């Protein structure tokens, strides 16, 4: 018994914010400089009445155009922008997508490591025979958490969703995982409003009401964690870096990824770096990248692809898949 990624579909909201729009709002930054430093030209942003659940629904409908929805026996939704405290978004999706009622469904709350954890959960459900056909959706709308004057985060983050079908197979194509957590970094990437710890958000400071990211400390975290994570996941899979055909890391920002790539001596031709049209879509960056690689023949059948996610929590994870 094994599992594999059968297909991926992505959905991005229609509104696009380009660097020239940001330059008009923040004239101290030029459009060219934004592109040069973070490698982003455009980011898609939801409208005021559009949510992560809407993006998730649209991505799921796209993938179910070519797959019999009556065969789906588990739905997993990863988001940090839920429509409601309760019920869970995955339950609403079961109804919106007209899926069977005798299926499992739940949400989990993770950011940039979310897709890796979603794959680990999907593989576990399949290998334990709880499910055979898992619909894994990652959907994020960080734009709703960002203050309009926060130029750094508005430049970096975009909204988006990706749906993946993880199915059972004879051969295991989702290999061993390494996962990690360090909650001591929680204050460095956080949205405090909306939870139960800070009830009176009207009186809270701007920092508490909106997304706060300590960029330099997040960078330090990735330098500490990612090289070791890659080494460990290669070891666990009895592989070396030169046996990996392609690497897809969470698309955080160009500067960070370039530095990590050089530090780990990964060939640029085997390293995905493309946030031009989407920005950092948090848990959706890895499947969006993987879909792009599949569409453009960057990865092909039987290739071994290293997937690495890291970020808010702190939380991180990596695995290797066979295409």
Partner 1 sequence: MKKEIFIKMLVNELELENDEINDQSILNLTSLKQLSLISFLDEHFSLRIKAVNLKGIDSVEKLILLIGRDKFE
Binding site for partner 1 (CB under 8 A): 37, 152, 214-217, 219-220, 223-224, 255-256, 259, 263
- Taking residue 171's Cβ as centre, other Cβ atoms within 10 Å add up to 9
Q: Please, which residue, 34 or 284, has the CB nearer to partner 1?
A: 34
Q: Please, which residue, 37 or 100, has the CB nearer to partner 1?
A: 37
- Taking residue 186's Cβ as centre, other Cβ atoms within 10 Å add up to 11
Q: Please, which residue, 66 or 224, has the CB nearer to partner 1?
A: 224
Known active-site residue 112: yes
Alpha carbons within 13 angstroms on the beta-carbon side of residue 11 total 24
CA–CA distance, 262 with 133 (Å, rounded to integer): 38
Whole-Å CA distances, 321 to 80, 160, 174: 25, 23, 5
Q: Please, which residue, 256 or 284, has the CB nearer to partner 1?
A: 256
Q: Give 160's contacts (C-beta < 8 A, 6+ positions apart).
A: 10, 11, 12, 13, 44, 55, 139, 140, 278, 281, 284, 288
* Set 10, 112, 155, 247: catalytic member: 112
Hey, which residues does 107 pair with through a beta bridge? Answer: 77
CB of 73 to partner 1, least distance (A): 44
Q: Please, which residue, 2 or 215, has the CB nearer to partner 1?
A: 215
Comparing C-alpha atoms, which of 63, 59, 78, 296 is closest to residue 162?
A: 59
Q: Please, which residue, 275 or 288, has the CB nearer to partner 1?
A: 275
Known active-site residue 247: no
CB of 230 to partner 1, least distance (A): 17
CB of 40 to partner 1, least distance (A): 13
Residue in the structure block whose two tokens are 């059972």:
168
CB of 113 to partner 1, least distance (A): 21
* Set 78, 274, 280, 293: catalytic member: 280
CB of 259 to partner 1, least distance (A): 5
Q: What angle do CA 8, 10, 13 make, to 5 degrees?
A: 170
| Helix H or strand E encompassing 263 | helix 254-263
| Helix H or strand E encompassing 52 | helix 52-64
CB of 158 to partner 1, least distance (A): 18
- Catalytic (active-site) positions: 112, 250, 280
């Amino acid at each position: 018994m094994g599992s594999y990624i059968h297909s991926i579909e992505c959905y991005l909201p229609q509104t696009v914010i380009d660097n020239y729009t940001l330059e008009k709002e923040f004239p101290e930054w030029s459009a060219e400089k934004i592109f040069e430093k973070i490698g982003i030209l455009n980011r898609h942003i939801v409208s005021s009445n559009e949510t992560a659940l809407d993006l998730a629904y649209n991505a799921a409908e796209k993938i179910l155009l070519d797959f019999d929805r009556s065969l789906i026996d588990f739905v997993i939704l990863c988001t940090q922008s839920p429509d409601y405290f309760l019920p869970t978004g995955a339950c609403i999706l079961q109804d919106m997508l007209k899926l069977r009622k005798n299926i499992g469904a739940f949400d989990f709350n993770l950011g940039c490591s979310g897709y890796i954890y979603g794959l680990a959960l999907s593989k576990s459900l399949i290998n334990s025979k709880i499910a055979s056909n898992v619909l894994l959706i990652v959907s994020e709308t960080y734009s709703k958490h960002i203050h309009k004057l926060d130029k750094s985060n508005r430049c970096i983050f975009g909204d988006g969703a990706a749906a993946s079908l993880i199915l059972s197979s004879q051969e295991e194509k989702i290999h061993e995982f390494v996962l990690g957590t360090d909650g001591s970094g929680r204050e460095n990437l956080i949205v405090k409003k909306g939870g139960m710890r800070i009830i009176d958000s009207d009186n809270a400071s701007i920092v508490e009401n909106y997304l706060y990211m300590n960029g330099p400390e997040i960078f330090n975290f990735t330098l500490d964690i990612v090289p070791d994570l890659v080494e460990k996941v290669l070891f666990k899979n009895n592989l070396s870096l030169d046996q990996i055909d392609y690497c897809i890391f969470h698309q955080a920002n160009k500067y960070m990824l370039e530095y990590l790539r050089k530090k780990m001596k990964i060939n640029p031709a085997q390293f995905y770096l493309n946030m031009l049209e989407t920005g950092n879509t948090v848990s959706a960056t890895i499947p969006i990248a993987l879909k792009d690689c599949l569409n453009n023949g960057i990865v092909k059948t039987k290739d071994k692809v290293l997937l690495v996610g890291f970020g808010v929590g702190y939380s991180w994870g990596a695995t290797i898949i066979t295409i």
